[in-house]
Amino acid sequence: MTLGLIGKKIGMTREFISSGQSVPVTVIKVEKGRVLNVITKDKRGYSGVQVGFIKLKNSKLTKQMKGFFAKKNTEPKKILHEFRVDKTEDFKEGNEFGLEILKDKKFLDVRSKTIGKGFAGAMKRWNFGGLRASHGVSVSHRSHGSTGQRQDPGKVFKGKKMAGHMGDKFRTILNLEIIKSDLENNLLYLKGSIPGSKNSTVLLKESVKDVRRKTLLEKYNQKIKELEAKKGKKK
């Protein structure tokens, strides 16, 4: 695995790419990360890097965290995150990095928390059909129906789809295409939508899966080449 970044979801807009297509994008304000701790296999059995993101006031720190940042001789950070890496030799405490680490990337995995919907019934939460609209059904049209078993095992199994708290959970969206990156303003434009409300924290990482699909521009250029080849054959 490699390093990742943490950012803030600003909102959604659209971008016109060079082919003339209008693409819906999510805009993310990326925060610069600072290496706070280099973890070696001798210490913990794995190699990794602890990185701090987003400045924090001293007044919001506990005594323990004040001591930690004083020891590291760095400004306080709001979010600390560990990234597993293959080689720790490339990293030193105090090193900073930003959008430049995504320079050659075309696709990213994005992890963030979904919008909380509060307590929701089975029909809204799990897309149940509900009970019949007539023929003996009374007062329980939107209920989820039977949940239990017989005398054996005599309990409701864990994970049963029932009414409960909806949303407010971490979700990962795989292989989102990078449409544009603005290094001056630390802005990243990703194709489509991502979970969470405005100003929510987002974790950006290199795609876990081997992405072989083409970007929008690559598809467009391929179509043009195919059309030109057909015209050449007709002549």
Which residue in 120, 107, 111 sits closest to 213, CA to CA? Answer: 107
- The pLDDT of residue 94: 86
Residue type, 154: G
5-117+168-234: CATH homologous superfamily? Translation factors (2.40.30.10)
Q: Could you tell me where in the chain the CATH 2.40.30.10 domains are found?
A: 5-117+168-234
Contact 200, 1 (CB under 8 A): no
Longest dimension (CA), the chain: 80
In whole angstroms, what is the distance from residue 156 CA to residue 148 CA? 5
DSSP bridge pairs for 108: 176, 206
Of 82, 78, 73, give the one whose Cα is nearest residue 59.
Answer: 78
Q: Six-digit token pair at 189?
A: 């434009």
In the chain, which ranges are continuous DSSP H helix? 41-44, 63-72, 122-126, 216-234
User: What parts of the chain have a pLDDT lower than 70?
Assistant: 1, 234-235
Strands 107-113 and 96-97: unpaired
Please report the pLDDT score of residue 3 as a whole number.
84
pLDDT in tens, 125-172: 999 999 898 888 888 999 998 888 888 888 999 999 999 999 999 999
Neighbour-count burial of 99, counting CB atoms closer than 10 A to its CB (0-12 exposed, 13-18 middle, 19+ buried): buried
